[in-house]
Amino acid sequence: MKTSATLLALLAAPALAVDVNPEYIAESCITLCSTLHETSLPHTVCSHVFNTRPKPVVWQSCKMGLETGFQDTCMPTCMMVGSAALVKAGKEGNSEFAELPKQDFMKACNPENAMHMPRNVFKKNCNMGYKGVFDAMVILTTTEAEKLFGFDDSAEFDKVKQTLAKEEEDKRQAALQAEYEADRAAQEAEVQRVIDEEARNEAIRVRRDAQGVEAAKAKAVKEKEDAAKVVADAAKAAAAAAKAAAAAADGGGLRGGAEEADEVPADA
């Protein structure tokens, strides 16, 4: 592997010469990855298919996978080490780069990107280039970034990385707990809403039942009053009829006596 003057200068710089901050980490990783791309990209991964037909699409698809694999590894890996350097310096790490990058063949070598080449040819050779650079570049970038950001050895970096991973896991668990608490509060609120609604409905039912009882009582009183009135009216009518009958009877007796008086014999 060739080593450029830029990379040598980076690695030779004193670890504590600058303030370790996110801007410094990003700028250093850009410089490191630019240098590694220039000096360490393993073009030999694709060299054996340079003359493979159909030319040049086989080599081009492998080269595309090689470049994509480098992009997917170098900056994320360097930023992960840089994030650990922030934690080492007593600052907050970058949660976006808490773990090593993972291979993503479907994204990197999606046949939709094949353009004018056969899809199966593109996918096969793109994957070959992607796999050929991925793991090796993760290891190389990790090693160079550890030196760049002042880690004495891999063990020290691993220790800080574990601390960063634990912090991120704690944050994730806290977020999950908060989500759980929010869901539980929402469920309890819904249960209370249902209970309150049922209580309101029960109060309405009781009120309606009470209104029905009062209406029934009022109806019974009215019917009783109406029946009493009918009885009273009937009694009055009966009394009137009896009085009329008695009067009629008295009138008939008087007329009978008068007629008897008128019929006195002549010889009396």
User: Which pLDDT value is given to residue 261?
Assistant: 53
Whether 12 maps to a domain, the answer reads: yes
pLDDT at position 165 is 60
pLDDT at 2 over 50: no
Selected residue with higher pLDDT from 159 and 197: 197
Across the range 110-122, mean pLDDT stands at: 80
In a domain, 266, yes or no: no
Q: What is the pLDDT of residue 213?
A: 84
261 assigned to some structural domain: no
204-208-214-219 Cα dihedral, nearest 10 degrees = 170
Asked if residue 247 belongs to a domain, the reply is no
pLDDT the model gives residue 238? 84
- Enclosing domain of residue 97: 5-151
Segment 84-106 shows an average pLDDT of 77
Q: Check residue 266 and give its pLDDT.
A: 55
Q: What average pLDDT does the segment 109-124 reach?
A: 81
Judge whether 173 lies within some domain. Answer: no
Stretch 25-47: mean pLDDT, rounded? 92
In a domain, 115, yes or no: yes
CA distance 268 to 262: 13
Average pLDDT over residues 83-99: 75
pLDDT on residue 14 = 44
Query: Given pLDDT bands bounded at 50, 70 and 90, which one contains residue 170?
Result: low
Q: What is the pLDDT of residue 255?
A: 58
Is residue 106 in a domain?
A: yes
What's the rounded mean pLDDT across residues 241-262? Answer: 68
The span from the CA of 263 to the CA of 254, in Å, is 15
Mean per-residue pLDDT, 28-43: 93
**What mean pLDDT is reported for the chain?**
79
Cβ atoms 84, 156 nearer than 8 A:
no
Question: Does residue 179 lie within any of the structural domains?
Answer: no
Q: Give the chain's domain count.
A: 1
